[in-house]
Amino acid sequence: MLNEKLTVVFNEVIARNPGEAEFHQAAQEVIECLGPVLTRHPEIGRHKIINRICEPERQIIFRIPWVDDNNEVQINRGFRVEFNSALGPYKGGLRFHPSVYLGIIKFLGFEQIFKNALTGLPIGGGKGGSDFNPKGKSDGEIMRFCQSFMTELYRHIGEHTDVPAGDIGVGGREIGFLFGQYKRITNRYESGVLTGKGLDWGGSLVRTEATGYGSVYFVDEMLKVRGSSFEGKTAVVSGSGNVAIYTSEKIHELGGKVVACSDSNGYIHDRDGIDIELVKQIKEVQRGRISEYVQERKSAKYIEGGNIWEIPCEIAMPSATENEISGKDAKTLVGNGCIAVGEGANMPSTPEAVKVFLGTEIAYGPGKAANAGGVATSALEMQQNASRDSWTFEYTDRRLRAIMKNIHESCYETAEEYGSPGNYVVGANISGFLKVANSMLSMGVI
Ligand code: NDP
């Protein structure tokens, strides 16, 4: 619930950012948690820290012209929202998806501020992307698009300024094309300007796996608090991209069984447990659709257009996109005996779904805490670049695991301290917010 002061702040956010529903949703979730913070720290209200945090430091919108394989000129729109640099250079991924508009980038950038703060690493929050649809495009088209995108973006980024990475539609291939163009235009081999790079040219081991593995480590910590674990549990993981694949891989390693995953056309259900290597082959090597899975695995079923949350599971890990779990889906999960939800995706649960989860005994790990392992490992990549070093897989994975444990502890303890025990939404929002707010207070009115 919003108190009177916070209602004024939130109404101002809506009025200043019309038509940006996803940004309003993300802002409301954070602002709603801050009542007790303002009571304890009136200086935060006096210095208008919440109002300032809700206003991006800089927003860049640009034209991306490129030529497709038919020699036709195409025009897309590019975005970079540099939201908050109180803790370090702006850091956050690039999303290439036709649904991208300013409101999506702002919701993601806003979430990123608090997520990055939770990692305890020196990174501010930002996000970017384009309404470009990479589906069905040739490698040449992807390259030309990425080059045109970087031809504008390069002047706004830098290892001490703003460090983009991947998100939906942007993986290792795209980061390679973007880095190549940055290097060419600037005549600088500035490894720390992008993360998610290839292992031969400045990338970090574990970055590919980090968001998925990290989300599972976070859920594992939530389960431990309840005297439970992944061992023998059935899980459903939506999506079949980077986050979903490595979430599923780690769940299997910890003794759980993932029985379903999806893409935007439908889902596959495999009672024997999803064959991760086959999913990797289809999605990472062939760049195919998840429906192709059933051609190889006769035990599995493909349900076109189905709702993956109807499959009974003990652990649900939404890892596709925002608002993919409705209030009704949340009730179905609860009714089917789900005990934990860990968000690999950003804001995958609607406000109605979050309400359902928080009203039950379910361990609910919100995205800004649960999926922070990706950006944390990006920051570890920056550390390796700065020291011209490269760490082993085992060492980097240990660091990731320790970071996720710390994030869990900090959310858990902050929730208790502020009178909402077990509520990781309150814990994550207050803990992340306080780090940023205190830094902003120290730096004066900027
Ligand atoms: P990918 O592009 O690798 O994969 C996205 C997956 O989600 C695809 O399987 C895609 O299917 C599916 N998907 C996308 N939109 C929908 C939809 N409307 N309905 C059903 N499925 C959909 O992206 P990532 O795995 O990197 O990202 C997934 C989520 O995780 C996003 O919310 C992202 O912001 C978040 N995230 C990612 C991080 C990272 O390190 N990559 C870090 C932190 C969060 P299709 O191919 O049909 O579109």
Q: For residue 263, which atom of ligand 1 is closest to its CA?
A: 11
Cα–Cα distance between 437 and 48 in angstroms, integer? 10
Average pLDDT of span 352-359: 98
User: Quick check: 1 pLDDT over 80?
Assistant: no
How far from chain centre, in Å, is Cα 188?
Answer: 29
At residue 126, the 3 state secondary structure works out as strand
Residue nearest to atom 46 of ligand 1 (CA): 263
Q: Which residue is it, tokens 């495999």? A: 270
435 carries an active-site annotation: no
DSSP string, 264-276: TTEEEE-TT---H
Which segments of 154-206 does DSSP mark as H helices, in order? Answer: 172-186
Please report which confidence band the pLDDT of residue 2 belongs to, taking 50, 70 and 90 as the band edges: confident
**CB of 371 shorter than 6 A to ligand 1:** yes
Which segments of 297-392 does DSSP mark as H helices, in order? Answer: 327-335, 351-358, 367-370, 373-386
pLDDT of residue 4: 87
Strand partners, 82: 58, 126
Burial 44-65 (b: 16+ CB within 10 A, else e): bbebebbebbbebbeebebebe
Pick the closest to residue 294 from 309, 280, 310, 278 (CA basis). 278
At residue 24, the 3 state secondary structure works out as helix
Average pLDDT of span 341-355: 98
At 397, the amino acid letter reads D
Name the residue of 142, 309, 321, 377 whose CB sits within 8 Å of the most ligand 1 atoms, as the mutation to test its pocket: 321
- Altogether, the residues listed in the chain come to a count of 446
pLDDT of residue 370: 98
pTM, two decimal places: 0.98
User: Quick check: 256 pLDDT over 90?
Assistant: yes
Ligand 1 centroid–CA 346 distance in Å is 9
Cα–Cα distance between 245 and 247 in angstroms, integer? 6
Ligand 1 centroid–CA 95 distance in Å is 9
Name the residue of 115, 131, 168, 326 whose CB sits within 8 Å of the most ligand 1 atoms, as the mutation to test its pocket: 168
Ligand 1 centroid–CA 219 distance in Å is 19
Cα–Cα distance between 252 and 263 in angstroms, integer? 20
Cα–Cα distance between 40 and 109 in angstroms, integer? 27
Strand partners, 60: 80
At residue 171, the 3 state secondary structure works out as coil
pLDDT of residue 422: 97
Sorted by sequence, the CB contacts under 8 Å of residue 317 that are 6+ apart come out as: 215, 216, 219, 235, 236, 237, 238, 244, 247, 251, 341, 342, 343, 344
Ligand 1 centroid–CA 168 distance in Å is 5
Where in 1-141 does DSSP place strands (E)? 58-67, 73-84, 90-96, 124-130
Cα–Cα distance between 414 and 443 in angstroms, integer? 24
Model pLDDT for residues 176-220, shown as the tens digit of each residue: 999 999 999 999 999 999 999 999 999 999 999 999 999 999 999
Per DSSP, 285 falls in state I
**CB of 105 shorter than 6 A to ligand 1:** no
pLDDT of residue 415: 98
pLDDT of residue 220: 98
Residue nearest to atom 2 of ligand 1 (CA): 168
Model pLDDT for residues 398-413, shown as the tens digit of each residue: 999 999 999 999 999 9
Where in 227-372 does DSSP place strands (E)? 234-237, 257-263, 266-269, 301-304, 315-317, 340-342, 363-365
Q: Which residue is it, tokens 């290439």? A: 96
pLDDT of residue 3: 86
**CB of 363 shorter than 6 A to ligand 1:** no
Q: Note whether 96 and 134 are within 8 A (CB).
A: yes
Q: For residue 207, which atom of ligand 1 is closest to its CA?
A: 40
Task: Say which of 91, 115, 127, 368 is annotated catalytic.
Answer: 127
User: Quick check: 151 pLDDT over 80?
Assistant: yes
Cα–Cα distance between 115 and 403 in angstroms, integer? 12
Q: Note whether 59 and 83 are within 8 A (CB).
A: no
- Mean pLDDT for all residues in the chain: 97
Sign of CA dihedral 11, 53, 43, 1: positive
Cα–Cα distance between 43 and 48 in angstroms, integer? 8
Ligand 1 centroid–CA 301 distance in Å is 22
**CB of 320 shorter than 6 A to ligand 1:** yes
Q: Note whether 403 and 373 are within 8 A (CB).
A: yes
Cα–Cα distance between 178 and 158 in angstroms, integer? 13
Cα–Cα distance between 29 and 31 in angstroms, integer? 6
Ligand 1 centroid–CA 167 distance in Å is 7
Average pLDDT of span 254-283: 98
Q: Distances in Å between the alpha carbon of 366 and those of 274, 322, 353? A: 25, 12, 12
Ligand 1 centroid–CA 241 distance in Å is 6
Share of the chain above pLDDT 70, in %: 100
Q: Report residue 106 as tokens.
A: 């702002």
Q: Are strands 234-237 and 257-263 parallel, antiparallel or unpaired?
A: parallel
pLDDT of residue 241: 97
**CB of 38 shorter than 6 A to ligand 1:** no
Q: Which residue is it, tokens 């062939």? A: 286
Which segments of 54-128 does DSSP mark as H helices, in order? Answer: 102-118
Residue nearest to atom 11 of ligand 1 (CA): 263
Average pLDDT of span 238-249: 98
**CB of 239 shorter than 6 A to ligand 1:** yes
Cα–Cα distance between 256 and 68 in angstroms, integer? 44
Enumerate domains of the chain plus CATH numbers.
1-55 (no CATH), 56-193 (3.40.50.10860), 210-370 (3.40.50.720)
At residue 341, the 3 state secondary structure works out as strand
User: Quick check: 246 pLDDT over 80?
Assistant: yes
Q: Are strands 340-342 and 315-317 parallel, antiparallel or unpaired?
A: parallel
Q: Distances in Å between the alpha carbon of 146 and those of 150, 170, 202? A: 6, 10, 19
